[in-house]
Amino acid sequence: MVYDILKEAILDGTLRPGLKLRQEVLAEKIGVSRVPVRSALIQLGADGLVQLRGRRSAVVRSITAAQVREIYELRAVLESHAVRVSMVGMTSQRLARLRELAQVVDAEQEGPEFVDARSEFYAELYDATSNPTLWELIEQLRLKVGRYLLGWRMVEVTPHSHESLLEAVSRNDVDSAVRDICHHLELVRDGVLEKLEDETP
């Protein structure tokens, strides 16, 4: 519970980059002891969202342009592989579910329904790889830039049609599917870099 509360607060911008998080203050605000707060901060540290400072505090991590480029370079490698493998294990039932999710994602383009549907879309797509470790690595990288994709820092990029990706998957057109994924990642990367540049004093 505490982990989810703090994670959401970081991602929606309530807890800004550079903010010092004191265990006792957080415990009082949330209404719990310091033990679950400490555990949550350790987990958030593993996620790359905070940097632990001693035993009683942490700082919300910021991110550099170089780190953003590294993250999206790795995501392109991992997600290209994931979409290739997922196409081998794709079923008509899964494809139908992906189409439903794609309609929500492409219709919304922002807000909580968009975020939930987008996450579920990729979880469903990459679940076809039958490789949960691969999805876990992708999610960890997505989380590192999550605050730039949600709420007060929603990246405004050219709308990405998930239908085009699904058409490539349904045709078993691996090259087109990989190209679509990589193009989308490039657009989002550039949007995140633009936000970072705007925030630089």
Question: Any bridge partners for residue 51, and if so which?
Answer: 59
In this prediction, residues 67-85 reach a mean pLDDT of: 97
Supply 135's token pair.
């999805």
Q: Tell me which H or E stretch contains 58.
A: strand 57-60
Report d(CA 182, CA 118) in Å as an integer.
16
Q: With cut-offs at 50, 70 and 90, classify the pLDDT of residue 126.
A: very high
Supply 155's token pair.
């990246």
Task: Label residue 117 exposed, middle or buried (CB < 10 Å: 0-12, 13-18, 19+).
Answer: buried
What domains lie within the chain, and their CATH numbers? 1-60 (1.10.10.10), 65-199 (1.20.120.530)
For the cut 70, the answer to whether the pLDDT of residue 201 exceeds it is no
> For 90-112, what is each residue's pLDDT tens digit?
999 999 999 998 888 777 666 66
Cα–Cα distances in Å, from 22 out to 2, 53, 56, 105? 14, 10, 6, 37
State pTM to two decimals. Answer: 0.82
Q: With cut-offs at 50, 70 and 90, classify the pLDDT of residue 160.
A: low
Q: Which residue has the tokens 């549907």?
A: 117
Q: Is 20 helix (H, G, I), strand (E, B) or coil?
A: strand
